[in-house]
Amino acid sequence: MKSVLTGFAAAIAALLLLAAAGALFGHAPREIFAILLRGAFGSRFAIEGSILKTVPLLLTGLSVAIAFRAGVWNIGAEGQFIVGALAAFLAAPFGVVASLVAAVLAGAAWASIATLLRLWRGAPEVLTTILLNFTALHLLGWCVNGPLRERAAQYPQTDRVAASLSSIGSLHSGVLLALVAAFALWFYVERTAGGLKLRATGLNPSAAEWAGVNVRATIARSMALSGALAGLAGGIELLGVTGRLFERFAVGYGYSGIAVALLAQLNPLATILSALFFGALAGGAGELQRSMNVSAAVATLAQATAVLVLLLFTALDRRRRWSS
Amino acid sequence: MVELIVSVAPLALAASTPLLLAVLGELVLQRSGVINLGIEGMMLVAALTAVVTAHHTNSAAIGFAGGIAGAAAVALLFGVFAIALRADQIVTGTAINLLALGATGFAYRELLRRSTELQSLPKAGALPMQLLAWLAIPALVAVALWNTPFGLRVRACGESPAAVGATRASVAWHRAGALALETVLGGLAGAYLALVLSSGFAENMTAGRGFIALSIVIFGRWKVKGALLGTAIFGFAAASQYALQASNSGVPYHLLLALPYVVTLLVLAGVAGRVKAPESLGRQDL
């Protein structure tokens, strides 16, 4: 209960700081909030937009949450998102299911490169996953400018993908997939033996090892699961929203996933709320950019401040407990 | 081969100067037991503040000072969380990178709205900064870390902070001192990037240099000589990439862009397991 309140407080503080940043450059806070609200929930179209942005955030948020719970620093959701979408594109001629499976496998495989480098060579995954993000980004750039470029060869983008997710109104079935993933992941982490091993590894790997947990296998499994979720996010985004690949396909969904997971304090169910908050914020930020020409980067700014405020609360709380 | 090396040498040194500054700064901080993933964001903010100050004062030198000031703002935030409050260093660094990305993206657009001339900047001489980065600063860092009491205590903070605490010296203040050194170097790196290497600011212009710097610190085994060697090797690899681009080798441009990151990955895979990090690096307790 207390942690839920802390999360809300951090979210509110992030919004206030955002308004302060706007005020610094002469935008009235009231106007900023009004436009944010309009862009996020002001119309049916706006609400749908917010939900569509929530889906990838929820999945990358879950991806980060599962890795961090296992004590593995997967900062690579961005790259796993991209290779997931690439694989989904290539497998799309074989149908939606094949396409999504390909996305999941590609994301898991990309993340597992970092696992291999850590377990075999001792390379810290916090760096290798980031370096793999840049690698994936340029791989995508090569694909859409080279072998996968649209037949008209006009823009650096692919042709339309051969499959698409079934639609629910103007949303797509990926919304349900993401929700199912959140509940399934909660069940796995909190209610299964595998989840217990995962949490034990995250809390104290040497104690887990002594208790008979195969820590290396648990790390490899969590990393693959984490990559799979981010890859799925990329596949769903391609098949449900963009329909094409282009250079700026990922737009930071992977990095935002870190903020989503941290605000939810790595709880899979709370991740739904946290993703909704940041999804709505992204929708609102888009409107800020359209109507006030304020950079949509404010959404990133708010994500970061929410995390920092949360860190502050946790640190102060720990201090208080120590001193008492 | 020799010909290629000689021909790309000036470019290699010029292009990897900001990287070297970042590597040296991070080396000092990591020696004190603190890992700062946020050096990427520190350089990004410094790049923007350097451009703004250089533009308004019409002086590249003051621009460099502006870069350091921007880096200091980021360092203050990092220091409060990671050193004073002992929050998790990886999470703090990651949050700071997000913050820098969002804040510079937002502020740059606001600034452009007011003066579209932000790209007209005073010319900055590259050579003094290159000499400083490749000769003077490494020498200074080496002396400071290995031949002064302050350096000894900084390194002790990285190996055994409890021992430092027992001598009644403050671990936190020594780490803050190391962070201050990183701030100066990170600020110079960001300013060089914007004023010398690119003549202007662009969103996310650091493009992962901070993370490459962290990798080189590991490759160089937390030593100044290793940092110089690692950065030089990396600089030559990156410069050969430009040479390949220019020579129409047939290798696609975008794959060449991925090369620096792949090289860094390979380097990490090659050495990481066989080097020993400072004992207390990144730990939250004391």
Asked whether the beta carbons of B50 and B70 are under 8 A apart, the reply is yes
Neighbours of B4 (CB within 10 A): 14
Amino acid sitting at position A63? S
ipTM summary value: 0.94
A223/A124 Cα distance (integer angstroms): 13
Determine the residue of chain A that is closest to B105 in CA distance.
A297
User: Diameter of chain A by CA atoms?
Assistant: 69
Structural domain including A196 reads 2-323
Asked whether the beta carbons of A157 and A238 are under 8 A apart, the reply is no
Q: Which residues contact A129 (CB under 8 A, 6 or more apart)?
A: A73, A74, A75, A76, A79, A111, A114
Residue contact B94–A297, C-beta within 8 A: no
List C-alpha distances in Å: B188 to B32, B63, B97.
Answer: 21, 9, 18
- Checking if the pLDDT of B204 tops 60, the result is yes
Residue A317 pLDDT: 86
Domain count, chain A: 1
- Of the pLDDT bands very low, low, confident and very high (cuts 50, 70, 90), residue B272 is low
Nearest Cα residue to A101 out of A240, A228, A260: A228
Nearest Cα residue to B14 out of B139, B120, B124, B119: B124
List C-alpha distances in Å: A102 to A76, A90, A98, A143.
Answer: 18, 8, 6, 17
- Checking if the pLDDT of B117 tops 70, the result is no
CB contact residues (below 8 A), chain A span 281-310, against chain B: 293-295, 297-305, 307-308
Q: Mean pLDDT of successive 10-residue segments in chain A (324 residues)?
A: 86 94 91 95 96 98 98 97 98 97 98 95 93 97 95 93 91 96 97 96 94 96 98 98 95 95 96 97 94 91 95 88 75
| B chain contacts of residue A23, beta-carbon cutoff 8 Å | none
Nearest Cα residue to B31 out of B125, B148, B201: B148
Claim: this prediction has a pTM higher than 0.90:
yes
- Of the pLDDT bands very low, low, confident and very high (cuts 50, 70, 90), residue B253 is confident
- Checking if the pLDDT of B4 tops 80, the result is no
Residue B105 pLDDT: 95
Return the bridge partners of A186, or none. none
Residue A129 pLDDT: 97
- Of the pLDDT bands very low, low, confident and very high (cuts 50, 70, 90), residue B116 is low
Amino acid sitting at position A188? Y
Residue B285 pLDDT: 60
| B chain contacts of residue A131, beta-carbon cutoff 8 Å | 208, 211-212, 215, 261-262, 264-265, 268
- Of the pLDDT bands very low, low, confident and very high (cuts 50, 70, 90), residue B171 is very high
- Smallest Cα distance from B270 to chain A, Å: 7
Q: Which residue among A139, A142, A311 places its CB closest to the CB of B91?
A: A311
Residue A271 pLDDT: 97
In the predicted model, what is the mean pLDDT of residues B240-250? 76
Segment B38-60, tens digit of pLDDT: 999 999 999 999 999 999 999 99
- Checking if the pLDDT of B128 tops 80, the result is yes
Residue A140 sits in a domain whose CATH number is 1.10.3470
Catalogue all structural domains in chain B, each as residue range(s) with its CATH number: 2-274 (1.10.3470)
**B219 three-state secondary structure:** helix
Exposure of A324 in the CB half-sphere (CA atoms within 13 A): 6
In the predicted model, what is the mean pLDDT of residues B189-213? 93
Give the phi and the psi of residue A246 in degrees, each rounded to 5.
Answer: -150, 175
Nearest Cα residue to B286 out of B169, B178, B177, B182: B169
Asked whether the beta carbons of B275 and B221 are under 8 A apart, the reply is yes
